[in-house]
Structure 1
Amino acid sequence: MTKKYRQANVSRRNLLKLSAGAISAGVLAAGVGSNLVAPEKASAQNKQDLSPDEALQALLDGNDRFVKAKRRNPNQSQSRLREVAKGQKPFASILSCADSRVPSEIIFDQGLGDLFVCRVAGNIATTEEIGSLEFGSLVLGTKVIMVVGHERCGAVDATIKGASVPGQIGSLLVAIQPAVEKSKGQPGDKLENACKANVLGQIEKLKSSPVLSALIKEGKLKIVGSYYDLDTGKVSLVS
C-alpha cells in the first residue's frame, strides 16, 4: 500500500467518522428539541384546566423562578405564536400598574397567551378595567385575577403629596385617594402602606362586580392582591 493511498484511505475514514458524528448530533439535537417543545405544549394545555388555587400557584412559581434567575421563558416559540393566533385561553388575569418596571409576562415567567393583562397607572379598577377583567374571566376563562401594586409607585406617591397635575392625570389620584386616607396612621413606611391599601381597595371594587362575584361563588375564580418589590423582583401576596 503506497503512502498516498494510505493517506487517501485515512481521509475517507475521517470523513465517514465526521459524517456519522454529525448525523448522531443531529439526531440527539432533534431528540432534545422534541423534549423541550413537548412540555411547552403540555403546559399550555394543562393550564386551561387549572383550579383557581393552582393558577395562583403557577404565578407565584413563575415569580420565584424570575427572582432566582431560573426563568424558563415558556410559550415564547414560533409554534406557540401560531397556536395562540387561532385563539386565546389565558389562565390568569393581571391588573397592574403601567409602570415600565413591572412587565407581567417577565416577572411571572409566562409567555404568549398565558396572561390577560390590564395595565393602568396606580393599578386602579376603572369601569373599563373591570369590564375587561370580566371578559377575561367569564369569556376567556382565567381562573385568578391578581392585582399587582408595587414599591415606590409614582401615582400613589403623588396622591399622598396632593400633587397638582394637568389633564386627566388627576382622575388617577382621585381613584387612589381613598386608599391613602385608609392607610393613614399605620406604622411603617407611609408610601408602602398606601400602595398596599390601594391594592386591597381595588380588589373590593372588583368583587363588587356581579359577574366576578358570581364566578367566585361558583369556585371558578379567585381574586388576590400582591405587592412587587422593585429591588428584588419578589411578588408578595397582600391581604
Structure 2
Amino acid sequence: MNRTIFFSALMLCLSPLSALASPPAEWHQCVKTLTYDLYYGSHKIGFFERKLSWENNQTVDIRSRSRLSAIVAKTNFEQHTRVIWSDIKNSFLTQSFNRSITGLLDGETRAQFNQDGTHSEIVNDGEKMKFDSADLPLLDVEAVASQMRLNLIQGKKTFDFKMQESDDVSHYYFRVAGEEKLNTNYGTVNTVRVEQIKKPDRQVNLWFSPDLDYQLVRGTYKRKILDLKAVLRTKRELCPQSYFTSNNPEAMTAQSAPMN
C-alpha cells in the first residue's frame, strides 16, 4: 500500500483551522486540539489528533499525530506543519512540513515552500525533488483542509487545489453536495457535505458542521481496498484570560465531548 495515498486520504478527512479572510488577531489566541477516531470499514483502528497554535495573526503551528493498528500491522504518524495566511493570495499557504511515518508504511518527508506558494523543495526518504506551479499555489494537505473550510464559511460551492504530496503534486476538485443532519458526539447537528469530483476511482465525502464552528465531524474515503472513516471525538480549546475579557465567555468556553 502506498503510504502517500493512505495518509493523504486520512488527512483529507480532517480539517482544523478556525479562521476567516484577514481574521482578527483575537480569534487566534487559543490553542485548539481536535481528536478523531479512525475506522477501517467497521473496525476501529486508531486515532488522529491535531493541535493548532497561532504564533501571531498570520502563522499557525500545526502538530498532528496518529496511531494505527490493524491486525498485525502498526503505524505511527507525526507531522509538524507551518501554515501562513497571505493577504496577497487571500489564501492559506504552506511554509514547511516535516513528516515521519514508522511501522508498516515507514518514511521521512521534509518540505519547504517559497513565500507565494509557486515553488516547493521536497526531500522524500533522501531523494530531493522540486516542483513549480504557475497558476494555483502549491499547498500541503493542512493548508488544503484549512482553505476548504474557509471556502465553506464564505459560501463557495466549488473549489480546487494543487496539493503537494511526498513525491508528486495532485490537482483535486471538490463541490458542495448538499446539507444533511448527522448524529455525532455533540448530538444531532446540521452539516454541509463536500465530495471530491473528477476522480472516478475513489469516493471522498466530508461533513462540516456550521453548528460546531464549521469543523469537520465526519470524513470517508473509499478507493479499491481502502475504506476509511474519521469521526470527531473531542474538540478542545485552551484560551488565555485576555481572550475571554474581549469576547462572550459563555460562547467561547472550551468544548469537549464525552469519550465513546
Give TM-score, length-normalised by structure 1.
0.30
Higher strand share: 2
Structure showing greater radius of gyration is 1
Give TM-score, length-normalised by structure 2.
0.28
